[in-house]
Amino acid sequence: MIRELAPAKVNLFLHVGDKRPDGYHELESLVVFASAGDELTFEEADALSLHVEGPFAAGLAEEPDNLVLRAARQFAAFAQIEPKVRITLTKNLPIASGVGGGSSDAGATLRGLSRLWPGKLTLPQLWNIGHDLGSDVPVSVLPGCWWMTGRGERFASVPEIGTLDALLVNAGTAVPTASVYAKLKERSGTGRMTKPQRFATIGQLSEYLHRARNDLEAPARTLCPAIDEELAALNRTNPLLARMSGSGATCFALYPDAASAGMAAETTSREHPGWWIAPTKLNFGRKWEFQ
């Protein structure tokens, strides 16, 4: 049995620029992945099947042909094999929450099948499949720390920024990405941050991130007032930075150490017992190494 983590994707900042002729916006983002995520297993079988379980499984109950199955079918089509695999997805991340759960699941599927059937596809082929599946999938094929541009299809590695102690929170409200973009006012440029170099301290990284923003935060807050509550709760824990990730509604906060993140999680859990709250590590470990 092959096991893969589909880590939550966190946009440390997200600048949104002009709309392109293809209807997508130009983006600029610093992307990291978390130690929290969905889990997938892969076993050879007589036919392709997907079983979904976990605390957020119900959110996929009416979506029989989700990104995991599409990724498996496209992998098999590229490799010219039958997709005879049993996939189990343990859904630990909230649905439509701004942490790339579906895209990360697809990326993990491509990794898992590459391990189940080694040598069938090259890394560029996996990226090509990712492009067909969605803007966030290519960067999710190799979780790490990435400088992402274009509509999300262009990404480059950045110098190691170290492991970040963080807290992810979600009040339980899904925010469709398309609705957030529909509320976005006309843009002019992306804001143009300088691609980061090495940071000597977490304080230097925090200063860099404070010069950036998430341009989707304002429109998302008009659609989902719970985001205001999430950010207020996080800011009460004295983080280095609190911000919405992606198109929302999940928000994150960065802390100087794991103890601070743990205390923030305890405080927020007491104040909001019904929220999804996950103390986690960001940019943990190394990028997955393609075999």
**Which residues are identified as catalytic?**
9, 136
Specify the amino acid at residue 75.
F
Q: What's the distance, CA 255 to chain centroid?
A: 19
Torsion angle of the four alpha carbons 281, 56, 113, 7, in this order, in degrees rounded to the nearest 10? -10
* CB 85 within 8 Å of CB 13: no
How far apart (Å, rounded) are the C-alpha atoms in residues 116 and 42? 7
Question: Which residues make Cβ contacts (< 8 Å) with residue 177, sequence separation at least 6?
Answer: 96, 246, 247
State the burial class of residue 124 (Cβ atoms within 10 Å of its Cβ: 0-12, 13-18, 19+). Answer: exposed
CA atoms within 13 A on the CB side of 188: 0
* CB 199 within 8 Å of CB 193: no
